[in-house]
Amino acid sequence: MRRFATDKTRRLISGLTQSLPSFSSSSSVAGSSVAAMSSSSSSITNPSPVTVESINPKVLKCEYAVRGEIVTHAQHLQQELQEQPGSHPFDEILYCNIGNPQSLGQQPITFFREVLALCDHPSILDRDETHALFSSDSVERAWQILDQIPGRATGAYSHSQGVKGLRDSIAEGIAARDGFPANGDDIFLTDGASPAVHMMMQLLIRSEKDGILCPIPQYPLYSASIALHGGSLVPYFLDEATGWGLEISDVKKQLEDARSKGLTVRALVVINPGNPTGQVLAEDNQRAIVEFCKKEGLVLLADEVYQENIYVDDKKFHSFKKIARSMGYGEDDISLVSYQSVSKGYYGECGKRGGYMEVTGFSADIREQIYKVASVNLCSNIGGQILASLVMNPPKVGDESYEPFIAERDGILSSLARRAKTLEDAFNSLEGVTCNKAEGAMYLFPRFQLPQKAIKAAEAVKAAPDAFYARRLLDATGIVLVPGSGFGQVLFWMI
Amino acid sequence: MRRFATDKTRRLISGLTQSLPSFSSSSSVAGSSVAAMSSSSSSITNPSPVTVESINPKVLKCEYAVRGEIVTHAQHLQQELQEQPGSHPFDEILYCNIGNPQSLGQQPITFFREVLALCDHPSILDRDETHALFSSDSVERAWQILDQIPGRATGAYSHSQGVKGLRDSIAEGIAARDGFPANGDDIFLTDGASPAVHMMMQLLIRSEKDGILCPIPQYPLYSASIALHGGSLVPYFLDEATGWGLEISDVKKQLEDARSKGLTVRALVVINPGNPTGQVLAEDNQRAIVEFCKKEGLVLLADEVYQENIYVDDKKFHSFKKIARSMGYGEDDISLVSYQSVSKGYYGECGKRGGYMEVTGFSADIREQIYKVASVNLCSNIGGQILASLVMNPPKVGDESYEPFIAERDGILSSLARRAKTLEDAFNSLEGVTCNKAEGAMYLFPRFQLPQKAIKAAEAVKAAPDAFYARRLLDATGIVLVPGSGFGQVLFWMI
């Protein structure tokens, strides 16, 4: 089955990296859902000014598997379960299609929520009852944050990069993490990491002749964003046999191949820890990547949103900026963007839409352009900005919240590690299933050997075998996972 | 001066609506700021892989005046004032460049903030002290909202259109406002209205041959978004002499003109109440617009974010959906998108980044595509979603918060109305200045007759006369406004 999926992927991608001659396909995402979703519009009969044939073909081309057809089907089943309990062989839908821990019962970190609540309603900060409800350091932190916001106005648009004081405290957190200086002026706070990824794609991609090197399997945000901005995804392949290893020689081969087709390759995306593959890069591998990007003139786009999610003792997170600086490379040597998000780690605050990118090694005039793009959406949400500053500066020894914070954090991380290991073992004990070690992130990416009959049955309904399997699994168990072909490969499972 | 600005605008726009042959200009936005902003990167000397010549020309082309050069200069002055008090003839910077009321001291609505704080930290909902700090209906509302969110998980990604229960309550609010049914499945919750505008532009624009009809003067989000998505802005001109009247005959002329140049015009943007011009459309004018869009096969993009901001007794807000439905036009007759935001109205919660679009009259397969684009960013921030549901369903008679809410709301709205009138009168009492009636929104758009010497002085420094004036005003008084040429016209001033 892997061969199948990989061949399919290569075909898909080679289509992407060629000259994009037509955009006639792929209107299937969220397919059957919307008729039910919008009964009000299903009766349209006269010619509408907008048809699938007349919209932006880049939108048609874009696919986003983690919220695609399987998820839409799951939402239908969920509705059916609500309307007719007992109508399916399961009582609830288990959404393992995306890293959304709080939807699966993970509790938020108390200190973070205390500070957010106080910043939302500062007029209770001075009240006696507040001290009974909130920790003293959350009250203190809320005051600190309010003082960083001009006029203490949490309801005002901030600077388009985010509140300066919050960016400065994020930079302090980065410096403490890396042991190298960081600058609040390099931080662009965004509504989660996704808009920051879009911003860089928008900046770098001029046409389908511009390529972005992406790992396969990849988090489909990248393929979706590249498609929406009209560029070409240049794949490099993570090697399942070596624990999703990244081979610079393969990346170089893919780069040369793309260049020989006339593409200008502008950037390399690295996701570390890996999404959806869960591996953690070794330090020397990271150094080789930095060296490669510097030599080849590529922007290094480092997705580091799982930096807190490492579950094995022999691996550690190192930011690419730390690696580059430790190699002696500074601002003049490498253009580097590091993405971080409040949605992952032990915090898992997906709904708060907080995140940032740290942008280094770009000239002042390019920074102006990034700032301009940021300014068109005015600013990211202030709650997300505050939370980003908190995750990079959690309570410290001596703070009232420190011990409960550590207990909550470690409880979540050890539960994630335990579940990763349990799933990994379970997969490897199943016949016809193998799975690499879960080193980090929130995902496992097992390999299923499907029997020929299943593959034929899938072909008969014109489905990819893995999509067919995922659909059958959902119908039988209520478990939602994403077919590996959505990432360019096999099957994945949330911890 | 108006002639100058208008001619300049027409040149600018005629460039836009032609074939976009080159993109060599406009790297000036945020110009002098970024060197100071990123001292760390100012020393780059070796060839970077990313230069202004090698980035996406659509990004270069994009301009966003309300956060442009004047604002950047103001931020510098502010920094100088902090470092050296007394270094300028004023003590503070007054940002009138954008509708950002809480930055100017407007207080948030207590009930809204209570509910947000409780949803951020639900574990206090059951505590006795909470009842001393929060109104009983805010506690009740927080419970209602939590019950609408699957697993009460305010930290989870929601459905990509937003939490279903919140969308349903927004639809109830719309139905109550309009007297016509609304459907929660038609609502797409977004991080403020801006991303919703981008989504529709992304959907509709295929190339520079696709045009979008926009009012001039316009809120530059529209020109920026059209530029970023590579389309052509087709201007129609609001007539200052008739209180920024919208003449269908002019719109029709512009449409025909664009078509004769080979453009496919896809949509008409209407901003009502007007931004930055502050007028409120008459009902029969709205009916004519609906009729025109229906007849010409245009999507009607209705920016209705100032729906609560009307300051004259003889005008009332009517949504375009209400107008269309009252004309007997349903889903099959007109494709209509209505934008609403938590940033405006009496709430002014810009930093919360909440908003929605109500999408009606599109076929199911187009809705799928809109959903797909929404899903690539997963969901909008939950705090913004909650706030959007609150502004569409504020406290009702009998609720504990009702009376204080009404007092706060009316206090803000009457203060805005008073300031609008004060500014309008002040402008009209100045020599060489005239200003239309401030009917709604948050802006005044006065007309300045600058002396020839000022125009010559501006020319000498290669500045537009209005930008020159705005810069001089800022340097002399600390007041930040936006040169009218940023909207395609003269000068504007926040109430």
Q: pLDDT tens digits for A351-405?
A: 999 999 999 999 999 999 999 999 888 999 999 999 999 999 999 999 999 999 9
Predicted model pTM: 0.89
Alpha-carbon span B208 to B42, nearest angstrom: 35
Q: What is the mean pLDDT of residues B381-389?
A: 98
pLDDT per residue as tens digits for the range A232-277? 999 999 988 888 889 999 999 999 999 999 999 999 999 999 998 8
Instruction: Say yes or no to pLDDT of A26 above 50.
Output: no
Q: What is the pLDDT of residues B411-427, one digit of tens each?
A: 999 999 999 999 999 99
Collect all residues of chain B within an 8 Å Cβ-Cβ radius of residue A222.
none
Of A34, A52, A98, the CB nearest to B371: A34
Burial class for B426, CB neighbours closer than 10 Å (0-12, 13-18, 19+): middle
Structure confidence at residue B32 (pLDDT): 28
Q: Which residues of B touch A205 (CB under 8 A)?
A: 56
Place of tokens 């959906």: B321
User: How distant is the Cα of B289 from the closest Cα of chain A, in angstroms?
Assistant: 16
| CA atoms of B394 and B113, how far apart (whole Å) | 12
User: ipTM for the complex?
Assistant: 0.88
Helix (H), strand (E), coil (C) string for chain B: CHHHHHHHHHHHHHHHHCCCCCCCCCCCCCCCHHHHHCHHHCCCCCCCCCCHHHCCHHHHHCCCHHHCHHHHHHHHHHHHHHHCCCCCCCCCCEECCCCCHHHHCCCCCHHHHHHHHHHHCHHHCCCHHHHHHCCHHHHHHHHHHHHHCHHHCCCCCCCCCCCHHHHHHHHHHHHHHHCCCCCHHHEEEECCCHHHHHHHHHHHCCCCCEEEEEEECCCCHHHHHHHHCCCEEEEEECEHHHCCECCHHHHHHHHHHHHHCCCEEEEEEEECCCCCCCCCCCHHHHHHHHHHHHHHCCEEEEECCCCCCECCCCCCCCCHHHHHHHCCCCCCCCCEEEEEECCCCCCCCHHHCCEEEEEECCCHHHHHHHHHHHHHCCCCCHHHHHHHHHHCCCCCCCCCCHHHHHHHHHHHHHHHHHHHHHHHHHHHHCCCEECCCCCECCEECCEECCCHHHHHHHHHCCCCHHHHHHHHHHHHHCEECEEHHHHCCCEEEEC
State the Cα–Cα distance between residues A185 and B447, nearest whole angstrom.
37
Tens-digit pLDDT profile for residues B28-41: 222 222 223 333 44
Per the CB < 8 A criterion, the answer to whether B421 and B255 are in contact is no
Residue B97 banded pLDDT, cuts 50, 70, 90: confident
For residues B174 and B325, the answer to whether their CB atoms sit within 8 Å is: no
Q: Is the pLDDT of residue B10 over 60?
A: no
Contact, A62 vs B369, CB < 8 A? no
On the CB side of A492, CA atoms within 13 Å amount to: 30
Residue of B nearest to A354 (CA): B381
Question: Rounded CA gap, A436 and A278, in Å?
Answer: 9
Which pLDDT does position A164 carry in this prediction? 95
Q: Where in chain A is the domain with CATH 3.40.640.10?
A: 164-391
Q: Which long-range contacts (CB under 8 A, 24 or more apart) does B221-224 make?
A: B221/A376, B221/B64, B221/B194, B221/B197, B222/B197, B222/B269, B223/B16, B223/B63, B223/B488, B224/A376, B224/B62, B224/B63, B224/B64
Residue B114 neighbours by CB under 8 Å, 6+ apart: A121, B134, B135, B138, B142, B401
* B213: β partners: B234, B268
Give the integer Cα–Cα distance in Å for A127 and B104.
25
Interface contact A384-B382, CB threshold 8 A: no
Work out the pLDDT band at A13, boundaries 50, 70, 90: very low
Task: Return the ∠ at Cα A374 (arms to B14 and A345), rounded to 5°.
Answer: 150
Q: Can you give the pLDDT at residue B116?
A: 98
What is the least distance, in Å, from the CA of B355 to any CA of chain A?
12
Residue A361's SS3 state is coil
Give me the residues paired with residue A300 across strands. A268, A336
The pLDDT assigned to B67 comes to 66
Which residue in A has a C-alpha nearest to residue B161's C-alpha? A37
* Whether residue B223 has pLDDT greater than 50: yes
Pick from B360, B327, B371: nearest CA to B174 = B360
Provide the 10 A C-beta neighbour count for residue B352. Answer: 32
Half-sphere CA count of A153, side-chain side, radius 13 A: 22
Q: Average pLDDT in the A409-427 region?
A: 94
Lowest mean pLDDT among A455-459, B95-99, B123-127: B95-99
Instruction: Please tell me the distance in Å from B343's CA to the nearest CA on chain A.
Output: 8
pLDDT tens for each residue of B459-483: 999 988 889 999 999 999 999 988 8
Which residues in chain B touch residue A369, judged by CB atoms under 8 angstroms apart?
27, 52, 55, 59-60
pLDDT confidence tier of residue B209, bands split at 50, 70 and 90:
very high
Q: What pLDDT is attached to residue A191?
A: 97
Which pLDDT score is estimated for A235? 93
Which one is the CATH code of B2-104+432-494: 3.30.70, 3.10.20, 3.40.50, 3.90.1150?
A: 3.90.1150
**Residues A478, A96 contacting (CB under 8 angstroms):** no
* Chain A residues close to B93, C-beta within 8 Å: none
* Phi, psi dihedral angles at B245 (to 5 degrees): -70, 150
Pair of tokens at residue A21: 């001659």
Q: Write out the residue limits of the CATH 3.90.1150.10 domain(s) in chain A.
A: 2-104+418-494
Burial status of residue B90 (CB atoms within 10 A of its CB: 0-12, 13-18, 19 or more): middle
- What SS3 state is found at A317? coil
Dig out the tokens for A196 from the structure: 């920051």
Nearest-angstrom CA–CA distance, B492 and B146: 42
Tell me what the pLDDT averaged over chain A comes to: 87
Do residues A97 and A67 lie in contact, with contact meaning Cβ atoms separated by under 8 Å? Answer: yes
CATH tag, A2-104+418-494: 3.90.1150.10
Cα A65 from Cα A118, distance rounded (Å): 37
A119-166 residue pLDDT tens: 999 999 999 999 999 999 999 999 999 999 988 999 999 999 999 999
- Residue A447 pLDDT > 70: yes
Per the model's pLDDT, the better-predicted residue between A205 and A32 turns out to be A205
Asked if B110's CB is within 8 angstroms of A156's CB, the reply is no
DSSP letter for A53, please.
G
A362: closest chain B residue by CA: B41
The CATH topology of domain B164-391 is Aspartate Aminotransferase; domain 2 (3.40.640)
Closest CA to A18 of A201, A209, A252: A209
Q: Report the amino acid identity of residue A389.
A: S
Nearest CB to A202; choose among B56, B127, B343 = B56
Which chain B residue shows the shortest CA-CA distance from A23?
B206
Amino acid at B304: E
Tell me the C-alpha to C-alpha distance, in Å, between residue B66 and each of A121, A379, B224. 29, 13, 11
Q: A381, A212 in Cβ contact below 8 A?
A: no
Predicted local distance difference test score (pLDDT) of residue A36: 30
B84 exposure class (CB count in 10 Å sphere: 0-12, 13-18, 19+): exposed
Which helix (H) or strand (E) segment holds residue A319: the answer is: none
Give pLDDT, residue A47.
56
Mean pLDDT of B249-259: 96
Collapsing DSSP to helix, strand or coil, A270 comes out as strand
Cα distance from B435 to chain A (closest Cα, Å)?
Answer: 27
Hey, what are A403's tokens?
């011990």
CB-CB neighbors (< 8 A) of B63 in chain A: 372
**Mean pLDDT value across residues B186-201:** 97
Considering only CA atoms, which of B220, B222, B221, B196 is closest in space to residue B388? B196
The amino acid at residue A449 is Q
Chain B residue numbers touching A150 (CB-CB < 8 A): 103
Portions of chain B given CATH number 3.90.1150: 2-104+432-494
Mean pLDDT score of chain B, rounded to an integer? Answer: 87
Partner-chain contact B361 A44, CB within 8 Å: yes
By CA distance, what is B42's nearest residue in A? A364
What's the CA gap between A421 and A434, in Å, rounded? Answer: 13
What integer pLDDT is reported at residue A48 of this predicted model? 74
Closest CA to B474 of B40, B29, B80: B80
For the record, the structure tokens of B120 come out as: 């951020």
Distance, CA of B128 to CA of A18 (rounded, Å):
65
Distance to chain B for A420, nearest Cα, Å = 20
